[in-house]
Amino acid sequence: MLNKGMVESVNVIGLTGGVGAGKSLVLSILRTKYNAEVIEADKVAHELMLPGEDGYLRVKETFGETILNPDGTINRTALGKVIFENESAREQVNSIIHPLVWKRIRQKISASQAGLIVVEFAIMGEEAEDIYDEMWYVHAFEEVRIRRLSENRGYTKERSEQIIRSQASEQEFVRRCDRIIENNGSVADLENQLAEILKTGDR
């Protein structure tokens, strides 16, 4: 997984974790305290669905005009309905967008002048592991995640549990990552943990 040669002297961290684990808080700390450049895979995917982008053109070619708004942009509700109701369609969209996302992320890393780059993503995928110096897993106990989802997003316990079950298991995250970031306590606890990691340069 570690491949320092591809990114030369730049430290590239892959950051992942389940819903409610607190990835956004970790990103905020890394951005504000360590001047990290943050690249979020979901936002890159959204960029690729804008008119004229490769993702937009290929999705439009695959699904036709029925998924477009009157102004030509993609109607995400209409596309979401197609994907939700048809597993084959969902796989088609993923096969189109995912490779383009990681291609664009590689381009962003190559163009970056930052000393620390953090790539955040929720879906584990082996195809991109060679771009990271190290992969971090943000971990929080399930009951903590459910409480956060209730407080921050208004999710019911049942909905939170359903989303958690649909994501990779804790065992899978641990198996694929190099470092576990525990996020069950206070913001200060998390900041101290990150400070210790980044102070040592053990990445």
Domains of the chain and any CATH numbers? 1-36+115-198 (3.40.50.300), 42-113 (3.40.50.300)
Residue 16 bridge partners (DSSP): 137
Q: Can you tell me the distance from the alpha carbon of 184 to that of 140, in angstroms, rounded to the nearest whole number?
A: 5
SS (H, E, C) 27-83: HHHHHHHHCCEEEEHHHHHHHHCCCCCHHHHHHHHHHCHHHECCCCCECHHHHHHHH
Q: Can you tell me the distance from the alpha carbon of 122 to that of 98, in angstroms, rounded to the nearest whole number?
A: 12
Residue 21 known to bind ligand: yes
pLDDT at 181: 96
Residue 25 known to bind ligand: yes
Q: Give tens-digit pLDDT for 97-128.
A: 999 999 999 999 999 999 999 999 887 565 56
- Whole-model pTM: value is 0.83
Residue 20 known to bind ligand: yes
Q: Can you tell me the distance from the alpha carbon of 162 to that of 166, in angstroms, rounded to the nearest whole number?
A: 6
- Say whether 134 sits in a helix, a strand or coil: strand
Task: Point out the residues of the chain with pLDDT beneath 50.
Answer: 1-9, 202-203
Residue 201 known to bind ligand: no
